[in-house]
Structure 1
């Protein structure tokens, strides 16, 4: 396994010495991340700037991820390494993608490249050694057209607009590029994108007619021969084209081998068999392209969610503008049943919005205006779901006015499109394994084929018979199905997940998610609502519950403490329209409670510590016991005293999400053995929540760095552990887990960037779907590997011993490739439980 080493020049704010404890903390946070082998301060500096030396496994982590981790840990990174996502046209299949990857990795300065057959290239390079122009030049040498390096929504919109303008025209389209060149992106030939398929059908028809006429004695044999030769042209056109391009670059591909086998068949006078080989091979390729395009289109469909224009409100009038013209702070008008054009907050109107395109939520979300429309909401981190709007979501029956908080290229939809496209370039562990297997397998097959050509020297047969057998083995042993087995499943799985509001960043998290045995959850906002609710109102002495609540609401109305706001909100709800008296002279006692005047009475609300230090009027033992009993069940309690009398207790709690208990039951059914809650709350609160929703473990009173230690401990016990949180406070713990899963990522840029898997909606119930999909993907990958390896294992001996000829070999070979691809496409139809 190839290990890479990079040195990142870094600047830690207010740190002058690389031996500072902040550097130690940074190293500690990075050290446990999956894929990082060793992290230490380098011996030499870069112009006086300390350098962090990182040894990493590129199969598990990218430089881009390392730099993001370092930045989140507090380091300012000097831009020494480039990370680019490039979309190209001209990659014919998975094996071609691998050849391009190998060519890029040979370039001086390219640290790592990952090329997907879908046309996405992920590149990491040293900016001082190589620039984009050289990389583009290399890609063009490989016969590729560079579409763009801006894999964002606006580019898709421009493409769609251009396609609309040119609808019905057949001339070649060209796209303008940053470097000033134009590149032809037309496909195939005279029949456009379907040329390969149509050529294959023509080949099959000619072969069928020729074969049929060969049985009619009145028809001269040259007629069938002419049809077979013509079939050779149509069936072999693309095969020959690919073979010549590959051989010209010193490569040796399946297309060349198939062409040799077909020519060999013609030399031996087996024209019909050669034509059949070319027909089946070209048809298999055409159908493979069709099937892979289906998965690619599912991903491209994400970008098509974005409207091209917006109705901009300016000086009391509305005008239609392109979404790329929108600026932060602009007000856009969204008409009923139309798409929302930008990320923003609702400033006028109420409506229900279908957020399924972004978050996967099946039920529309009610939207209402923010309290302060004039505020700059673009820097606000905590925007309520009822106020927030996402680009690409669909408005209901009423008109909305929305204030733009993100420009088009930074919108949630644009980032989602970019991250999903990036996911296509991230290889899974199984794909790395099959790539390594092929490196040794293909040369071994070529040696075997070479030896079989000389079999006539050992056994009683002619050279032509030995040559024919060798060609049949060549066809049988070609690992086409193996090459596409994993990428097709990963592509389909990522596309299906994205449609349901789950962003899976590549093959590794897709595979890892399915083999998890333990899940660690953050408590606040993940398993619980994230806001305290009034749970108990206990009246003491002769005071009625309603009267007690009025006193509590009146006093807490003067405070802006989160607990006070919860008392006021829930208290008013319980009191309905009852008149609330007015309190005054609020005085806060830090960490203990408040005092205030209510009419002629003095009211005290707080914890037991408040009354311990107040005066000698202490609560009774029974009252204290009642308070401690409520606290042992996870409640935060407030004792209320009016003058000298203790009149009641109110209790609040961050209550579990409604769906939490049912979701955990589903996860248990899926075979998750341990479900652990990690929280900063005290152990009593943790135990109470765990008992209520059915967790196996609850670990309380944890600091953020202790959560990281908890994850490391769990990994030792369970090997595969996921951390589920909001992606902000839980980022270090997520980085150290096998799979980091962020909830509510649609509203958080940090969550989108940090997690391996992002649940776009703030919905815990999406988790079983994601795990179920991963299990299905893992199962399909295994099936594909068994099919592809099994067919090769059966066909090689069958052709070596003459039980199968070239025709049968190519039929089974191409059939297995199609079985593998269409099996992978089943993931696109995966249903959530």
Structure 2
């Protein structure tokens, strides 16, 4: 994987739709088999209690149904048990199969069918949300174009495959096109949307000598650039590799039962064999010894223990989904409550992710609405995101626009046009200086104050006189400050901002939301290094929404993506998705996780206690099988009902 280019990866995934179809059918058939097993098992239970509808069924039909139930519920467990035996391992699958066969040998077919149905169902739950990484990689690959416009030595342009590009090749990047490879601008100037790579909320101006990232989006100007890295070594290709590498590093939470299933299964099988064979050798009745041996297998089968965790996590997952939180597995729900650090991306996470007008400051004698009308009229001809924000602000206030003449766009500086007989300039201080417009000292101080607040300020001049300034910023989400405060109340010790934006803007946002630890100007690999460092001090949650967040989302103990604005790769890589784009759901998710962990611990303790009591009773006084069944199934019902309590809220 480390040597593949993005195009190589795309080709490797070309058969993915067909694989998904096959996988979907296999899962469908598996679910149908489990449903059949469950229905048959509980139907047998009803018959055992003498319901009239079952009393007239022929014994041979009942036996056939028993066999179907065993095959439906026990196929997967038998296959896993045999495979592990060949690998030299003994697990609970083998114990469950032996317990079911033991129950059948004693005529307790219902018990055996129920055991297998419950066990198979729990296994299906554990495999329901696996392997999202390939979907994440596919979303990453879609950022890279398949073809590039390479400029030949004679100046002609030829369309070539991106993987044919070599170091030093010159490429033409048209307006609205994606950058095909990491390159350096040699001619032209344009705005580049590189938010997917750096996290910057506003497109940046790029001209001669500036570097471009592969996969970023060109704005309105055409650029000629020279390839400085092979496609296989581009920043985007590195992100692809980091996503998969980070996912590989992240170990999956092991359930409590997995930690001792091998030793437990061996101990139970050994104890059952000793009880059956050893007792007979020491003079006990062979039939009685076998009865007690099979009873031990039945009561020692960890049904309550096996179902105790899925019952809780399934309820917790349903609760989360009902509240707009998609959790991609029970293990993530369990782990979320134990984290000590929450790291936030800035753009689209703590902020709205769209530039909005924050300040309109007109000089004396000029009406604010008239200033906005003039600026919006000029900017209506521009494609820059800040221009769209200005036009949107005018439309929101019901301000009609005027006619525009002689519009000129000056990349990196601003725009100019004639409006209603007046010459309007909108842009930077350098634009004003170029046109001989003097900037008053008071307006200069205003510009510094706006910049200190992390805002992008645009000067406005009318007929060569400064008329005011308009500022825009990526507005902080209204709930961000409250969410940060609630996380502190929940005991989250460390809150940190990781962003690709500049330090001034990042700290301005951090002050508004109440975060003290700010780490700015970070590229994806640097975010990854920050997450690795934070993990040394405890569990880390990473909250983000962009492609640049994907490696960090994958490496963090829990990755959380904002669902409304999140990119496909962020959503696929994340372990938790806030579907309603509401940060208020984050503290709720952590609290739900803690309640889930508490319930799981109680269920495990109770299940183990019942198993210990039943095993001890079987070994000491030899309890009858029906009593063992009551204790065994009763504990299962109790832990399931306890887990269902999480559906409330």
- TM interval, shorter chain, is 0.5 to 0.7
Distance between the aligned counterparts of 1:634 and 1:751, measured in 2? Answer: 26
Distance between the aligned counterparts of 1:788 and 1:820, measured in 2? Answer: 8
Kept in 1, the 8 Å contact 2:103–2:109? The answer is: no
Given candidates 519, 528, 541, the residue that maps to 1:708 is 528
CA 1:746–1:552 in 2, change beyond 3 Å: closer, same or farther?
closer
Pairing of 1:477-496 with structure 2 (within 5 A): 477-496=300-319
For 1:515, what is the secondary structure of its paired residue?
coil
Q: CA deviation at 1:570?
A: 0.9
Residue of structure 2 equivalent to 1:149: 22
Residue of structure 1 equivalent to 2:614: 795
For 2:382, what is the secondary structure of its paired residue?
coil
Q: CA deviation at 1:619?
A: 2.2
Structure with the higher fraction of residues in helix conformation:
2
Structure 2's unaligned 5+ residue stretches are: 52-58, 86-93, 130-215, 218-249
Distance between the aligned counterparts of 2:545 and 2:64, measured in 1? Answer: 56
Residue of structure 1 equivalent to 2:169: none
Kept in 1, the 8 Å contact 2:268–2:297? The answer is: yes
Structure 1's unaligned 5+ residue stretches are: 1-7, 13-70, 87-121, 123-147, 160-174, 176-182, 207-228, 264-273, 300-380, 383-425
Given candidates 555, 563, 584, the residue that maps to 2:405 is 584
Q: CA deviation at 1:289?
A: 8.6
More divergent stretch after superposition (515-524 vs 818-827): 818-827
Superposed CA offset, 1:746-771 (max 9, x none):
98543443333333443333434443
Q: Does 1:429 align with 2:253?
A: yes
Q: Does 1:608 align with 2:453?
A: no
Residue of structure 2 equivalent to 1:786: 605
Residue of structure 2 equivalent to 1:684: 504
Residue of structure 2 equivalent to 1:450: 273
CA 1:601–1:744 in 2, change beyond 3 Å: closer, same or farther?
same
Q: Does 1:660 align with 2:480?
A: yes
- TM-score (ref. length: structure 1): 0.52
Answer 1 or 2: higher relative contact order, Cα 8 Å, separation at least 6: 2
Distance between the aligned counterparts of 1:649 and 1:774, measured in 2? Answer: 48
Q: CA deviation at 1:279?
A: 6.0
More divergent stretch after superposition (666-675 vs 807-816): 666-675
Kept in 2, the 8 Å contact 1:678–1:700? The answer is: yes
Kept in 2, the 8 Å contact 1:295–1:492? The answer is: no
Q: CA deviation at 1:628?
A: 0.9
Kept in 2, the 8 Å contact 1:243–1:256? The answer is: no
Residue of structure 1 equivalent to 2:48: 203
Residue of structure 2 equivalent to 1:568: 391
Q: CA deviation at 1:655?
A: 0.8
Residue of structure 2 equivalent to 1:528: 351
Kept in 1, the 8 Å contact 2:352–2:475? The answer is: yes
Distance between the aligned counterparts of 2:16 and 2:309, measured in 1? Answer: 25
Distance between the aligned counterparts of 1:823 and 1:806, measured in 2? Answer: 26
Cα RMSD, aligned residues only: 4.8
Distance between the aligned counterparts of 1:557 and 1:188, measured in 2? Answer: 60
CA 1:821–1:290 in 2, change beyond 3 Å: closer, same or farther?
farther
Pairing of 1:382-531 with structure 2 (within 5 A): 429-431=253-255, 433-453=256-276, 469-498=292-321, 500-531=323-354
For 1:558, what is the secondary structure of its paired residue?
coil
Kept in 1, the 8 Å contact 2:544–2:561? The answer is: yes
Q: Does 1:739 align with 2:564?
A: no
Kept in 2, the 8 Å contact 1:680–1:703? The answer is: yes
- TM-score (ref. length: structure 2): 0.65
Superposed CA offset, 1:25-61 (max 9, x none):
xxxxxxxxxxxxxxxxxxxxxxxxxxxxxxxxxxxxx
Q: CA deviation at 1:462?
A: 6.4
Kept in 1, the 8 Å contact 2:313–2:333? The answer is: yes
CA 1:235–1:256 in 2, change beyond 3 Å: closer, same or farther?
farther
Distance between the aligned counterparts of 1:201 and 1:77, measured in 2? Answer: 54
Residue of structure 1 equivalent to 2:639: 820
Distance between the aligned counterparts of 1:533 and 1:772, measured in 2? Answer: 33
Q: Number of matched residues?
A: 512
Q: Does 1:721 align with 2:540?
A: yes
More divergent stretch after superposition (702-711 vs 762-771): 762-771
Kept in 2, the 8 Å contact 1:295–1:825? The answer is: no
For 2:491, what is the secondary structure of its paired residue?
coil
For 1:767, what is the secondary structure of its paired residue?
helix
Superposed CA offset, 1:62-105 (max 9, x none):
xxxxxxxxx5xx7536649998999xxxxxxxxxxxxxxxxxxx
For 2:547, what is the secondary structure of its paired residue?
coil
CA 1:247–1:631 in 2, change beyond 3 Å: closer, same or farther?
closer
Q: Does 1:595 align with 2:528?
A: no
Distance between the aligned counterparts of 2:383 and 2:102, measured in 1? Answer: 81
CA 1:557–1:466 in 2, change beyond 3 Å: closer, same or farther?
closer
Kept in 1, the 8 Å contact 2:34–2:120? The answer is: no
Q: CA deviation at 1:195?
A: 3.9
Residue of structure 1 equivalent to 2:212: none
For 2:364, what is the secondary structure of its paired residue?
coil
Superposed CA offset, 1:344-391 (max 9, x none):
xxxxxxxxxxxxxxxxxxxxxxxxxxxxxxxxxxxxx99xxxxxxxxx
